[in-house]
Structure 1
Amino acid sequence: MSNAPVYDIDPATFWADPYPDLARMRAQTPVCFVPQLGATLITRRDDIFVNEKNVDVFSSDQPQGLMTVLMGQNMMRKDGDDHMHERRAIFPTVSPKTVKNVWKAQFEAATARALDRLAGQDRADLVKDFAMEVSAEALKSITGLTNMDWREMDRVSQGMIDGCSNYAGDPAVTAHCDDCTASIDRHISERMGALRSDPDLSLIAVQTQAGLDEAQMRANVKLAISGGQNEPRDAIAGAAWALLTHPQWLRAARAGDISWLQVFEEYARWISPIGMSPRRIARDHDLNGIALKAEDRLFFMFGSGNRDETVFARPDIFDPSQDIAPAISFGAGPHFCAGAWASRCLIAEVALPMLFERFTDIALVGDAPFGGWAFRGPLSVPVRLR
């Protein structure tokens, strides 16, 4: 174990609001060991930005990591040539050109259907009644799992996310995660024949066409679902909440004084949907005088780096006009989120502008509780629709 200073947390408090603890870590112990998480945390933005690229030490290859054990060794848990080979294989699915020419129209159609169902209702929860469906329908298109109901897509995604952050080792959480991965495998099996005979640009099809073996294809589809449902869902509902609680920025977005992309990217900095990325220490390493030991577990705390007081002018304030070029919301190294273009399109070009165009006087009607530190988002966003 490393000799990093020990910082204790209350897990329930940290889940409800990690930002006070993260601010104290940045100020007092920017590299620290948290016994309750069994990991060393790096909390300052520049330390994360530099060290995430050093894959010889901070390795994504984690044979005993929860994601690998529960979902298979996907490309996110590989480094170097192995990672780049699979990243190139999936690029036709997630390229800016494919997003623009193929997926955007499908995103718009799914979002319009969700809004049509909300029309006529007086009240709704933007998480469960809008963002969940919009995100899941987009993911169905991208993965090729058009045979999966959007509610099941959300269920299996959340189940895997819960499993991959189950550092307390709750057996019920693990069992539920196993049930969710089994459901994905069944749905993949149902689609494989059709996508082999009539391939499209979906994730299943392009990986098969690229010659990836079936086990690898399945692991990468599970990765896409674990990272492609709850984060866009939470960002859509969360960014809408941010605008409704900061009406000056909603007026600015509607007037074109700021872009919807600025809204989304500032929200992703302020409330990072992906708050952490784990690594395995591959060999003994000295980091700023702290001795990291081989096989230690380490977390890059993106949610903390995105609120670093030494980097951002207004780190704790939602301000889409501020300079957030240094933000690391999608990562900073070779594992930069492959779905970034799809996320920007879905959220900034489709979901947010269509929501606020359809409901011109939408308003909050209650509190919007948030939760999570590894993955963070609103649990509900109750609104009046009009």
Structure 2
Amino acid sequence: MTSTVHSVEAGGTAVADWITLDDLDRDPFPIYARLRRESPVAFVPVAGRYFVTRYDDVHTVDHDPDTFTANEAGSLMKRSMGHSMLRKDDPEHAVQRASYGGVLKPKAIKQLWNQRFEENFERFFAEFVARGPGACLVRDFAAPYAAENLRVVMGFDNATHEDMLRWSQTLINGTGNYADDPSVWALAETSYSEVNDALDEMITRFRREPDGSLISHIVNSGAPEVTLEDTRANLKMSIGGGINEPRDALTTTVWALLERPEQLAAVREQGRWKDAFEESVRWVAPIGMYPRQTTREVELGGITLPAGAKLGVVALSANRDETVFENPDEFDVFRPKKPHLGFGGGAHFCAGAWVARAQVADIALPRLFERLPDLRLDPQQPPEIGGWVFRGMTSLPVHW
């Protein structure tokens, strides 16, 4: 990466043609730091969009949907998952989101889901421990735990947590398929059809026998504005984020604490698991980038964007903006509380944030460290992390 960010005379647009997809996947943070310094809004040819990297500019985009629409033309998410509420603006977005009711909110979590999360913790923790030291916390615990929690909340009684994991990963891979890999699209299309078939079966059942699950609530809410195609797309979107966010937040937090024994000791002593969770989501935002598109010519980050410009709103970068967070590249549970953008912002703030906090900060984190007081990293197998559209641990072998 020796080239410089240079300006094109037409419009003075900064073009970051030195960025590669491989560099972004491996470690995007040096790239984003450079963009924040030199060109906070720059066109990145390899992604086909302008990256918005500073906190204040991301905040501006999040809170001005009239100028920066979520309904992007040619959206990879639309192709992979259908036209979900995440790619719509209010008032249409608000109608779609209202169809979820209170199923993902604190009252329902307390009354319905925490007990199921606790049961799932016991099940998958026992399977994890049975594998013995050297087991991977991502593959052998966090992924199946998050997937089963989501399966229960959504009401996919006709699927397994393995189905949920496969659907989530292949649909997410489609959403981030900037390389336009045909094999990625093929797997996403298979999952697309499988989710539709499973959902149609559950809709028929829940119309006869409703319960507290998300599918049941949507199909029995009596909202004619929300069509079957809307529901299919919205639930595919939830399958994606509903697994990767808690899985990645959990494993990134464990990794960060194991690397910092003094902070881990303080978190244990003071019960600061929620602080550790929030700092982890700031430090490595599980949803690293999301798209927007300009509806008119507008100035942002010192450049003029034309109408129809495609943006990559980079939460991974905004959460490490030096003008907002002191020593932003450091994981620090004692950091003064400031709003982070790890769950997005504005009308599209993540609907599953409370569910993620409950299953990770309230249940999994404290119980993991209580049950395994000498939990530590595997000295022979280093952890691995990757991604930029979605970023998280890909491998976390541990001993105890």
> Distance between the aligned counterparts of 1:137 and 1:351, measured in 2?
13
Alignment of 1:90-239 (within 5 A): 90-120=100-130, 121-210=132-221, 211=223, 212-239=226-253
The residue type equivalent to 1:134 in the other structure is Y
Partner of residue 75, structure 1: 85
C-alpha deviations, 1:202-238, integer Å up to 9, x for none? 2211111223321111111101001111121111111
2:317 to 297, 304, 310: 304
> Distance between the aligned counterparts of 1:146 and 1:107, measured in 2?
16
Q: Does 1:4 align with 2:18?
A: no
Q: Greater CA deviation, 61-70 or 106-115?
A: 61-70
Q: Greater CA deviation, 85-94 or 17-26?
A: 85-94
> Distance between the aligned counterparts of 2:47 and 2:95, measured in 1?
32
Shift of 1:109: 0.6
Q: Percent identity?
A: 40
> Distance between the aligned counterparts of 2:145 and 2:283, measured in 1?
22
> Distance between the aligned counterparts of 2:73 and 2:301, measured in 1?
27
Which segments of structure 1 move beyond 3 Å, counting only runs of 4 or more?
A: none
> Structure 2: where are the runs of 5+ without partners?
1-9
Shift of 1:88: 1.4
C-alpha deviations, 1:126-147, integer Å up to 9, x for none? 0000000110011101211132
3-state DSSP class of the match of 2:265? helix
Alignment of 1:263-342 (within 5 A): 263-342=276-355
> Distance between the aligned counterparts of 1:106 and 1:271, measured in 2?
27
> Distance between the aligned counterparts of 1:93 and 1:129, measured in 2?
28
Shift of 1:288: 4.4
Partner of residue 7, structure 2: none
3-state DSSP class of the match of 1:32? strand
Q: Tell me the TM-score normalised to structure 2 length.
A: 0.93
User: What do you get for the CA RMSD once the two structures are aligned?
Assistant: 1.4
3-state DSSP class of the match of 1:124? coil
- Structure 1 contact 312–324 (Cα < 8 Å) conserved: no
2:267 to 229, 253, 256: 253
- Structure 2 contact 72–310 (Cα < 8 Å) conserved: no
C-alpha deviations, 1:97-148, integer Å up to 9, x for none? 1112111111111011011122342331000000001100111012111321
3-state DSSP class of the match of 2:121? helix
Q: Tell me the TM-score normalised to structure 1 length.
A: 0.96
The residue type equivalent to 1:113 in the other structure is R
Shift of 1:355: 1.1
User: CA distance change for structure 1 residues 147 and 381 in 2, over 3 Å: closer, same or farther?
Assistant: same
> Distance between the aligned counterparts of 1:288 and 1:75, measured in 2?
27
Shift of 1:38: 0.5
The residue type equivalent to 1:271 in the other structure is V
- Structure 1 contact 196–208 (Cα < 8 Å) conserved: yes
3-state DSSP class of the match of 1:33? strand
1:370 to 382, 385, 389: 385
C-alpha deviations, 1:28-53, integer Å up to 9, x for none? 10111011111001100011112211
- Structure 2 contact 41–302 (Cα < 8 Å) conserved: no
C-alpha deviations, 1:292-349, integer Å up to 9, x for none? 1222210111000000011111201010110242311111211011111111101100
The residue type equivalent to 2:240 in the other structure is S
- Structure 1 contact 3–292 (Cα < 8 Å) conserved: no
Q: Greater CA deviation, 55-64 or 26-35?
A: 55-64
Partner of residue 240, structure 1: 254
> Distance between the aligned counterparts of 2:104 and 2:11, measured in 1?
38
